Amino acid sequence: MPFAELSEFDFHKRLAATPGIAIVMFSGPDCGACKRLEKNLPEWLSGHVDHLFKIDAQRSTALTRAYEVFHLPSLFVFVNGHYHAPLQAEAAPAPLIDALRRLLTEPAHEEP
């Protein structure tokens, strides 16, 4: 499952039309941790999420500010096109999957 790119111009429309569980990653072209996570997330989260999206934080500055992204990479969970919560965990398979499972049992957070 490759990452699909989003921008501030299609972000809301495309996510609203996305069924299932989606992870949105804010990243940057010069971010080494972002590149490693982008390479590994499809394998790590296979079977746990339905869609992976990425946003270039340098190009989509309005979204980056709206979601209060202060560090890269930053991950956010959406369920059936609606914001659910930020995903914060160690960048390794087991911690990410555990954090995702825990988030999905909790009520959705308010969108930033």
In a 13 Å sphere around the CA of 47, the CA atoms on its Cβ side amount to 4
Confidence (pLDDT) at 112: 87
Quick: pLDDT tens for 38-77.
999 999 999 999 999 999 999 999 999 999 999 999 999 9
In a 13 Å sphere around the CA of 31, the CA atoms on its Cβ side amount to 21
Number of domains in the chain: 1
Confidence (pLDDT) at 85: 97
Sign of the CA dihedral running 109, 83, 27, 94 = positive
Whether 76 is covered by a domain: the verdict is yes
State how far the alpha carbon of 51 is from the alpha carbons of 1, 15, 30, 41, 71, in Å: 7, 10, 24, 11, 22
- Mean pLDDT of the chain, nearest integer: 95
Whether 90 is covered by a domain: the verdict is yes
Domain that holds residue 98: 4-105
Residue 99 to residue 6: CA distance in whole angstroms:
24
